Amino acid sequence: METSTTGFIVESLTRAIATHRLLPGTKLAEQKLADHFGVSRTLVRQALFQLSQNRLIRLEPARGAFVATPSVDEARQVFAVRRMLEGAMVRAFIAQSTPAQIRALKTHIAAEKKAMDGGDVGQRTELLGDFHVRLAELMGNDVLAQLLGELISRCALITLMYQSTAAAGHSHDEHAAIVAALARRDTEAAERLMHEHLDNVQAGLQFERELPGSDLSMALSS
């Protein structure tokens, strides 16, 4: 029970970070978290330690836990790793893809568009990030899906800190183009489009921005 409870806290905080409800630098007070989840501070500490291992939060002696604030160098390194992983992933996906997998991706793209059209920022952010993980899941590669999930969560912090609002609206169209290339089994185009997509996201980062604060209770109750 304790393990599953800790996992639920980790998942909830990760989702709050990935959907930009918890902002970089937000203090994660143990007692507030314990009260919110109805658990002991011991379980909260276990969850925070796991999140620190994934680089989503930082633990500071005598100060507590804070949502991570990735450096410029870390941001560049994360995107470099994603290019290596995801370029190879689309090649592997095409080598074993089925019509059912393509239909699943098209369903995801349709959900992205619905969230975009409806102005649902939280759902849009979640779906845009999950697109990359979904590719790995459809391949049946749980290890790759987990790795990408962690990288996507770190990217959520990076884009929140550094991405301009004007640059945030192009990902859906680029995802749709990638799926079209996958559907016609065009390996070269799919890999090129994935690299261009990640290049475009990184190019839209502005490494000098001020961030608003965020309230822990409101972020977790959203």
Q: What domains can be seen in the chain, in order of their start residue? A: 5-69 (1.10.10.10), 72-204 (1.20.120.530)
Per-residue pLDDT, averaged over 10-22, amounts to 83
How many percent of the chain have pLDDT more than 70? 87
Identify the burial level of 140 via C-beta atoms within 10 angstroms of its C-beta, where 0-12 means exposed, 13-18 middle and 19 or more buried: exposed
pTM of the model: 0.73
Band the pLDDT of 201: cuts 50, 70, 90.
confident
* Phi and psi angles of residue 67, each rounded to the nearest 5 degrees, phi first: -60, 135
Render 90-155 in DSSP notation, one character per residue.
HHHHHHH--HHHHHHHHHHHHHHHHHHHHT-HHHHHHHHHHHHHHHHHHTT-HHHHHHHHHHHHHH
Is the pLDDT assigned to residue 87 strictly greater than 90? yes
Query: How confident is the model at residue 212, as a pLDDT?
Result: 52
13-17, 190-194, 215-219: which range is least confident on average? Answer: 215-219
Sheet holding 27-28: strands in order across? 27-28, 64-67, 57-60
Is the pLDDT assigned to residue 210 strictly greater than 60? no
Query: How confident is the model at residue 161, as a pLDDT?
Result: 73
Query: How confident is the model at residue 222, as a pLDDT?
Result: 55
Could you tell me which of 53, 222, 59 has the C-alpha nearest to residue 154? 53
pLDDT digits (tens, 9 = 90+) for 145-180: 999 988 988 887 887 777 655 555 688 899 999 999
Is the pLDDT assigned to residue 197 strictly greater than 80? yes
Q: Can you list the pairs that 100-104 forms with residues at least 24 positions away whose Cβ atoms lie under 8 Å?
A: 101/138, 101/139, 102/179, 102/182, 102/183, 104/134, 104/138
| H/E stretch holding 50 | helix 41-53
β strands within 4-47, DSSP E = 27-28
Mean pLDDT, the chain, integer: 86
Query: How confident is the model at residue 1, as a pLDDT?
Result: 46
Q: Which two tokens stand for residue 62?
A: 């005598």
Query: How confident is the model at residue 218, as a pLDDT?
Result: 58
Is the pLDDT assigned to residue 209 strictly greater than 60? no
Q: How far apart are CA 161 and CA 72, in angstroms?
A: 10
Per-residue pLDDT, averaged over 173-191, amounts to 96
Residue linked to tokens 């859906």: 172
Instruction: Report yes or no: 20 and 160 within 8 Å, Cβ to Cβ.
Output: yes
Band the pLDDT of 194: cuts 50, 70, 90.
very high
